Amino acid sequence: MSQGREWVQQLQRALSEYEDAIMHREHKKLMETKVSVQQDADKAREKVVDTVVDIVTKVRMEQKD
């Protein structure tokens, strides 16, 4: 598999997790607290940002060589 496709898949996975966390936050169950579901959404958003930063860093390092 090409490197670009692998990066796209990583980003799609991270975005999917983020979307799921947002949906869960919006439709939380009765016994769940707002804080815990918001923390899950924040962690998922952070994973998206980390994935993008990782990909950009790898691309820039390849261009330097």
State the pLDDT at residue 52: 97
- Tens digit of each residue's pLDDT (9 = 90 or more) over 17-58: 999 999 999 998 988 999 999 999 999 999 999 999 999 999
Q: What is the mean pLDDT of residues 7-21?
A: 96
Q: What is the mean pLDDT of residues 13-17?
A: 97
Q: Is the pLDDT of residue 65 over 90?
A: no
Predicted model pTM: 0.85
At 57, list the tokens. 């860093």
In the chain, where the domains are located? 3-64
Q: Is the pLDDT of residue 1 over 70?
A: no
Which residue pairs from 50-58 have beta carbons closer than 8 angstroms and sit at least 24 positions apart in sequence? 50/14, 51/10, 51/11, 51/14, 52/11, 54/10, 55/7, 55/10, 55/11, 58/7
